[in-house]
A and B are shown apart, each in its own frame.
Chain A
Amino acid sequence: MTTMTMAAALNAGLRRAMERDPSVVLLGEDIGRLGGVFRVTDGLQKDFGQARVIDTPLAESAIVGAAIGLAMRGLRPVVEIQFDGFVYPAFDQIVAQLAKLHQRSSGTVRLPIVIRLPFGGGIGAVEHHSESPEAYFVHTAGLRVITPADAATAYVTMQQAIASDDPVVFLEPKRRYWDKADVDSAVDVARAPSPWQSRVVRAGTDVTVACYGPMVRTCLEAAQSHESASCEVVDLQSLSPLDTDTLIASVRRTGRLVVVHEASGTAGLGAEVAARVGEACFFELEAPVLRVTGYDIPYPPAQLEEHHLPDLDRVLDAVDRVLAF
């Protein structure tokens, strides 16, 4: 076990994947000499060379489009989009091209591409640097979408995403980049549990709190601080495919569900989770599923983001409301 930050764990995961598979190449803006604006690729160009850690022009559509061509040529590209708010120029290449080409080719073209995307708010950033675009990608058939909640899962899921033969949008909760955890760097990734499932990160009996990415820590802290209720916290982790088996089993035990995410509520992951749990747990539910999400507004200026982002108090408020129903 080594204690490291999530950024360091992601770096170690990338390094391990590159060591294991020479077809893994990294592309992105400022990822080489600089090591990325969050230093997630720090030192990789020095060790693997410019042919495997490739600095690209400032052109997000080009980065993803080129990755498609590289994959067609047999490589496994891992691309970095510098910030969540800069992914939209690449939207066509991700949604209309990358997500569809495997099926369009009747399975003959494989697109094992990972799109790394630092996402979410809470770091006091200026406009376009705090967004949560996951629903767009979850809504798109052909993509897998995953987000690790801590350094240990980041290390493993990064390698699993790279090993996947499907395109993966890998959402990195940027405000957790500097959170430290024990990482088992000797773990055999091939034998690790499937990343495409949710996991119970805290057992409880009264209410289930479902969350993912940056909100996992927030919800764990809320659960721990609740004075009376026993909260079970489920980290969804895999947003597409969305694994609701674990969640449904949890809700059948607790009878109550709160879903938490930073992204706006309307047509967000919480809506999908609520619908699926409603279908599966109609008779077990003791209360309506409640959502704690960002508001349906453009991401606010940094000085206001604390009012927009779900925090410990808003999660506790929802837990109390769902219990009082």
Chain B
Amino acid sequence: MSDSEPAVRLLSPDGERLADGRYDIDVSDAALRDLYRDMVLVRRLDVEGTALQRQGELALWAPCLGQEAAQIGSARCLRPTDMAFPTYRDHGVAWARGVTPLQLLGLYRGVTNGGWDPTQLHCALYSIVIGSQALHAAGYALGASLQGSSDATVAYFGDGATDEGDVNEAFVLAAGFRLPLVLFCQNNQWAISTPREGWHGAPIHRRAEGFGFPGVLVDGNDVLAVMAVTQAALDRARSGDGPTLIEAFTYRMGAHTTSDDPSRYRSADEVDAWSRRDPIRRLSAYATRIGAADESFFAEVEAEADELAQVVRAGVRQLPVPPPESMFDHVYAEPHATIAEQRAFLTAYQDSFADEGVA
């Protein structure tokens, strides 16, 4: 975070309220408790995701551990009709948009390639090809702008994605059309094994200047600071002033995915140092300090998290495997002869085993 303006920060790692000359936000005690609850529940969902993969119940899991403040803080600023375009790690974003835990786990269990209705939840499906969703977000924002709507759009992507052409092309579109778009980069330091220093000649947020719009660096583990900068960027988008790039400086506490072994490329000391900047502990310290929450509230949320974990564990094992013929559903919106023929073949092929007495 050196060689540029300091990150926007409204909470110290110990939960002290800080003043930032540039940004501020008023959050009620009730809203603080909601944020805390969101972050704890998402973390529990995430921890369960990793555990379920280890138990063989999920094919893969991409942990968001440590990034809860960046995800919840930004997504909770959105209005219901605003649109979010998340990556596959943005479980906090999906949660905030109303995606249920089991909808979310379906992709990772391998019972769906999607999981929810983006048109209802105003949350696009996870995008696995890195950065590809940034262009969808730009197009969506262009559509909203052509329609004269005040809906704003947020494109989520990681530090690794800023190397991709699609993300840079999204910057070009955002600037050229002055799109009502927030480009929200979670710099979690590691693109699998590639460190953030890897390919960035300059801090990510400073790239925005070259494209012709503002970029801001925020402490991504400070939920209040994330909200303050996101709210300002959304206001700017809605008022027709164009896009903002937000670099939320955070840390991927877990592996890239459950297939990864981060001990091969980063030190335990580094992880340890970041664990002292934990976003949830920071918020709870602040809430306690100002009397917005007490031990009974924390215990209540903990109990809710236990309950969520149980629901997730039980539910994921019961996620129905769709019938084989469903593979042919929705390949096209309109009738397609080849698909119809192959569906009929599969059905007939399966029926040919019917009298073999498989009970």
Interface residues of A (CB under 8 A from B): 25, 51, 56-57, 59, 61-62, 64-75, 77, 89, 92-93, 96-97, 100-112, 141-142, 144, 164-166, 196, 240-243
Contacts and interface: CB of A to CB of B under 8 A. Distances in A.
8 contacts: A25-B146, A62-B172, A69-B142, A89-B165, A96-B132, A106-B112, A166-B334, A241-B338
Contacts of B118: 72, 105, 108-109
A62 B129 contact: no
Interface string B319-344: 00000000001111110111100000
B129 to A, nearest CB: 5
A22 to B, nearest CB: 11
Contact of A61 (B113, B166, B331): B166
Interface in B125-152: 125, 127, 129, 132, 134-144, 146-147
B143 to A, nearest CB: 3
Contacts of B142: 66, 69-70
A65 B143 contact: no
A70 B249 CA distance: 30
B20 interface: no
A92 B332 contact: no
B267 interface: no
Given A70-B139, A75-B146, A164-B334, A59 B119 contact: no
Interface string B145-181: 0110000000000000000011001101100100000
B125 A69 contact: no
A65 B129 CA distance: 12
A113 to B, nearest CB: 10
Contacts of B139: 65-73, 77
A112 to B, nearest CB: 8
A25 B142 CA distance: 11
B120 interface: yes
B136 A108 contact: no
Contact of A93 (B120, B135, B337): B135
Contacts of B124: 72
B113 A103 contact: yes
Contacts of A69: 135-143
A275 to B, nearest CB: 13
Given A62-B138, A144-B332, A75 B172 contact: no
Interface in B37-96: 83
A70 B140 contact: yes
Contacts of B339: 141, 241
B169 A61 contact: yes
Q: Which of A61, A110, A141, A164 has the most CB of B within 10 A?
A: A61
B346 to A, nearest CB: 14
B138 A166 contact: no
B214 interface: no
A93 B329 contact: no
A111 B147 CA distance: 18
A242 B338 contact: yes
B333 A97 contact: no
Given A65-B136, A66-B142, A74-B143, 4 more contacts: A51-B146, A93-B166, A106-B330, A110-B333
Nearest to A50: B146
A81 to B, nearest CB: 14
A57 B172 contact: yes
B114 interface: yes
A106 B117 contact: yes
A102 B146 contact: no
Interface in B87-118: 112-114, 117-118
Given A106-B117, A108-B120, A61 B135 contact: yes
Contacts of B134: 65
